[in-house]
Amino acid sequence: MENKSGIIKAVIKGNVAEVQEMIDFVLDANLMTPDEILNNHLIPGMEEVGKRFRANTMYVGEVILSSRAMHAGINRIKNYYPDNSLNKKGKVLIGTVAGDLHDIGKKIVVIFLRTAGYEVIDLGIDVSPEDFAVHVEKERPDVLGLSALLTTTTVWMAETIKLLKKEKLLKICKVIVGGDPVKPNFARQIGADGYGRDAPDAVRCVNRLLGYR
Ligand code: B1M
């Protein structure tokens, strides 16, 4: 089943058109579910990119191309996840913290939260503590989600929570954190209300914080 490994290869090559064609093919032919494409092909494809990046056999420029192919793949499957955000189970504000440009994982978390029935406002990447505070004040979310992929930027999670506390905004919302370098005890240390290991875990965490089963 060449197609099965084809998506992974196309993500590694950074070939947007190939990723899109293969995903359309397997979805139209009902060969795979969106979850299978995401968990068995797109994410493993990016994991392989990560391995090669760490081994210095892939460079930032190539990783950027792979990221574009990854984003294109996620955009393809996104429409197969029901957008239940009008169920208004709650409002989540989310963003990648200051100094950090990684948003692939955050994008998957957003899709899963919307599918779970939450209205989600994505503030994008490189969001400063001040910007998070301004948007919490304005949007009054039930939950604020902070994403970081660099060890060096996790400090901005702590700074954001500190600022929200100082401005008495923690009365408005709970805060959850996540991203590869973020671990549960770090989340506790910085005073976050919750931590998500991956997208489904992020949904479980928000459900729990807002009193849903
Ligand atoms: Co960069 N990068 N990167 N990178 N990059 C990493 C993260 C790195 C681990 C690679 C490595 O090992 N060297 C390393 C960080 C090391 C560290 O600090 N721990 C690294 C580095 C060093 C860098 C640069 C500094 C490289 C350089 O320029 N010298 C630079 C930094 C730029 C910056 O941010 N200021 C850089 C740049 C980039 C790109 C921009 C080229 C690109 C990002 C493109 C984009 O996102 N639009 C990129 C990428 C793609 C990666 C890797 C290869 C893949 C990350 C990814 O998307 N994974 C990554 C290596 C790796 O494999 N980890 C690496 C797939 C994604 C589905 O998983 O993001 O973990 P993940 O998301 C998961 C969970 O984390 C969780 O759920 C998601 C879905 O399941 N989750 C949450 C995420 N956010 C959450 C929030 C939640 C809850 C759960 O609640 C709010």
pLDDT in tens, the chain (213 residues): 344 489 999 999 999 999 999 999 999 999 999 999 999 999 999 999 999 999 999 999 999 999 999 999 999 999 999 888 888 899 999 999 999 999 999 999 999 999 999 999 999 999 999 999 999 999 999 999 999 999 999 999 999 999 999 999 999 999 999 999 999 999 999 999 999 999 999 999 999 999 997
User: What is the pLDDT, as a whole number, of residue 2?
Assistant: 45
Question: Do residues 148 and 182 touch, judged by C-beta distance below 8 A?
Answer: yes
Q: What is the DSSP letter of 127?
A: B
Q: What is the DSSP letter of 183?
A: -
User: What is the pLDDT, as a whole number, of residue 23?
Assistant: 97
Query: Is the sign of the CA dihedral 53, 56, 57, 61 positive or negative?
Result: positive
User: What is the pLDDT, as a whole number, of residue 5?
Assistant: 87
Rounded CA separation 143/91 (Å): 7
79 three-state secondary structure: coil
Query: The pTM is what?
Result: 0.96
Distance 195 CA to ligand 1 centre (A): 17
User: What is the pLDDT, as a whole number, of residue 87?
Assistant: 82
Which amino acid, residue 149? L
Q: Which residues line ligand 1 at a C-beta cut-off of 6 Å?
A: 43, 46-47, 49-50, 53-54, 60, 63-64, 67, 94, 99-106, 108-109, 145-147, 149-152, 176-181, 196, 198-199, 202
Rounded CA separation 207/124 (Å): 23
Residue nearest to atom 70 of ligand 1 (CA): 180
User: What is the pLDDT, as a whole number, of residue 188?
Assistant: 98
Residues 6 or more apart whose CB falls under 8 angstroms from that of 56 comprise: none
How far is CA 163 from each of CA 24, 41, 134, 139, 189, rounded to the nearest angstrom? 45, 39, 11, 17, 15
